């Protein structure tokens, strides 16, 4: 493996559209994978991603670094948080997320990187 490697989300290794109004760009760098996600205005997990996954709530652990838009996530206990540009959000499994407002939400999901590095989640 090279001691230094450069990749760009401007030319991702993979592009996926896992659900309506959702685009994922994947880059593989130094044996790890990073994912940038763009969620369009109106995207709601329950409406767009839940039916594709077969779940009502998102059951993944996420650490998200946000670069724009307004992203809201809630839990059954009434806990709710809004994330904006520059925020880092830690979301436990069992959350219901959606895009608020009329701007796309862009984030890099570090949860997979944590798992790949042998993290506990």
Give the pLDDT score at 31.
Answer: 84
Give the pLDDT score at 32.
Answer: 85
Give the pLDDT score at 116.
Answer: 63
Domain ranges of the chain: 14-116
Span 14-116: which CATH code?
2.60.120.10
Q: What is the pLDDT of residues 10-27, one digit of tens each?
A: 999 999 999 999 999 999
Give the pLDDT score at 118.
Answer: 67
Q: Which residue stretches of the chain have pLDDT < 70?
A: 1-2, 116-121
Cα–Cα dist 117/111, whole Å: 10
pTM above 0.75, yes or no: yes
């Amino acid at each position: 493996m090279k001691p230094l490697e450069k990749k760009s989300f401007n030319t991702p290794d993979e592009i996926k559209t896992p659900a309506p109004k959702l685009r994922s760009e994947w880059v593989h760098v130094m044996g790890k994978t990073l994912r940038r996600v763009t969620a369009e205005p109106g995207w709601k997990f329950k409406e767009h991603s839940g039916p594709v996954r077969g779940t009502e709530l998102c059951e993944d652990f996420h650490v998200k670094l946000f670069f724009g838009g307004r992203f809201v996530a809630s839990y059954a206990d009434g806990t709710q948080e809004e994330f904006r540009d520059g925020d880092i959000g830690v979301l436990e499994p069992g959350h219901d997320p959606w895009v608020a407002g009329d701007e796309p939400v862009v984030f890099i999901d570090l949860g997979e990187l944590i798992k790949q590095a042998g993290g506990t989640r």
